[in-house]
A and B are shown apart, each in its own frame.
Chain A
Amino acid sequence: MPPRLRLSSVRRQFPVCQYELQIARSASTAAPAVTPAAPIEQMRHSPAPVSRFPPTQPPSHRNPEYRRSQLLRSYTSLLRTSPLIVLFQHNNLKSMEWAAIRRELTNALKKVDDKIAAEGRTAPPLAPYIKIQTIQTSIFEVALRIVDYFKPSESSLALGRPPSAIDPVTQTSAELPAVSGSKDDPALTHDLSRTAHAAVKNLKGKHDLSTLLVGPVAVLSIPNVSPEHMKAALSILTPKEAGFPAPTRKANPDYHDPIVQNGLRKINLLAARVDNQVFDIDQTKWVGSIEGGMDGLRSQLVTALQSMSSSVASTLEGAGKSLYFTLESRRSVLEEEEKGPEGDKSESS
């Protein structure tokens, strides 16, 4: 059987290839040697040197493989992204009760969204993002301290950023941040870093909410300061304490299901955190009672300012006017006095 691969033909082709290659070379030398300019990005930033750690896993004080570290990260992110947080105390709720309460809550919040859309306001629909969740109080307290008290300085933040080649101060070809692989590096300012830990370590129990975070606590997070959504949520969760009427049996028969009601009897309103400020129950009620949400509050402010400006103008005018009238009356009195004796004199003479 002859070999299937014809070696002789392959050998014959080889010099042909070489010849073509030579032609190609001579053609390239004939053309003028113009090197295209490198793109501007490449000129600014040189290729990255070797990193000591993966970019998503900087060295951290708390072991990122533990659940508690990831919980801390999720809590800090929750605190940073939701300016309106309401805290509740919950005791021994069954999973069925939680499910029923969450169902009622989402229904009520969807109604608020529909109402806002019907009124033609431009507020984004928040119902899918508003969540009630139970928290680990001790980890949540640490997260609160990190979010509120750990403010890394601008210089340490700049250390963590990759240096720019066009900045004359830090001119370097390195694109990675100047961070060593050590946990102690002050340039590391993420939530699990040693810098963050050291900054808030001495403030244990100093936060306004830390005395409140005792026992089982649940958190309702709203990603926007929307008093309307808060009012709807409170009227479902704690209608008696918050003073907002719960839906009637006729309007919402599901709400008066014994499962929901038994669950709600085990929930207490504790406090709220609005724009990094701690509000107790009365202040929470006040926030919930703002009509028309933030737009309503702004319109109230505008009317107040308008009425104030007119009253200020009239007040300022009033002082000038009264002075004018006083002087005018005084002048007339003086004139009369001047005239009076003269008139008497003329009469007598």
Chain B
Amino acid sequence: MTIPISTITTFRTAYNPFSRASRPCRLFLGMLRTPNTIPTSSPTHIDIQVKQLPRDSTQSPTMTIGFKGGKELTLDVGKRGLKIGDVIEEVSRVGRALQREASLKG
């Protein structure tokens, strides 16, 4: 399943890289940080902010995805025990709805 990357504008995430639960955050980061989304001049630029927690922190990893039109999706990856497939599914569901709306508007 592909993510509608063009509908995403911001991405915030905080995780402890030493915990196993941070895996989806790091993998999702790899899907968003592409040559098309990184340059600020690009139309599909995504503003990415990563906060890495210290090694002994037990805070569960979270991510916040901002979409075009101001919609925000916050996923508590650690508490819900999400995997990378679940994260992609949730994000692309919102993204596809936004894409559909935009196409209907013309």
| Interface residues, chain A, with chain B CB atoms under 8 Å away | 89, 91-92, 94, 208, 211-212, 214-216, 241, 258, 262, 265-266, 268-271, 278, 280-283
Contact = CB atoms under 8 A, between A and B. Distances in A.
A281 B54 contact: yes
Given A211-B18, A262-B35, A266-B38, A216 B52 contact: no
Contact of A265 (B18, B38, B52): B38
Nearest to B24: A214
B35 A271 contact: no
Interface string B14-57: 00011110010011011001110011000000001010101100
Given A266-B33, A268-B50, A215 B17 contact: no
A216 B20 contact: no
Interface residues of B, number: 19
Given A89-B26, A89-B29, A214-B27, A94 B35 contact: yes
A91 to B, nearest CB: 4
Contacts of A278: 55
Contact of A215 (B30, B35, B50): B30
Contact of A270 (B17, B35, B48, B54): B17
A215 B30 CA distance: 8
Contact of B19 (A211, A215, A268): A211
Contact of A91 (B18, B23, B30, B52): B30
A269 B20 CA distance: 17
A314 B36 CA distance: 67
Nearest to A271: B17
Given A211-B19, A270-B17, A271-B17, A216 B30 contact: yes
A258 B39 CA distance: 8
A270 B53 CA distance: 10
A271 B33 CA distance: 20
Contacts, number: 56
17 contacts: A89-B26, A91-B29, A91-B34, A92-B34, A94-B35, A211-B17, A211-B19, A212-B17, A214-B26, A215-B30, A262-B38, A266-B38, A268-B50, A270-B17, A280-B18, A280-B55, A283-B55
A207 B17 CA distance: 14
A91 B34 CA distance: 7
Interface of B: 17-20, 23, 26-27, 29-30, 33-35, 38-39, 48, 50, 52, 54-55
Contacts of B19: 211
Given A241-B52, A282-B54, A215 B39 contact: no
Given A92-B35, A258-B39, A262-B35, A281 B52 contact: yes
A208 B35 CA distance: 32
A215 B28 CA distance: 10
Interface centre among A94, A214, A268, A281 (most CB of B within 10 A): A214
Contacts of B38: 262, 265-266
Contacts of A92: 30, 33-35
Contacts of B33: 91-92, 265-266
**Nearest 9 Cβ contacts at the A-B interface:** A280-B55, A91-B33, A91-B30, A266-B33, A92-B34, A265-B38, A262-B38, A211-B20, A214-B23
A343 B46 CA distance: 98
Contacts of A270: 17, 52
Contacts of B30: 89, 91-92, 215-216
Nearest to B27: A215
Contacts of B18: 208, 211-212, 271, 280
Contacts of B52: 241, 268-270, 281
Interface centre among B23, B27, B33, B54 (most CB of A within 10 A): B33
Contacts of A281: 52, 54
B86 to A, nearest CB: 16
A282 B17 CA distance: 13
A211 B19 CA distance: 6
Contacts of A89: 17, 26, 29-30
A19 B70 CA distance: 113
Nearest to B34: A92
Given A262-B38, A268-B52, A278-B55, 5 more contacts: A89-B17, A91-B30, A212-B17, A214-B26, A265-B33
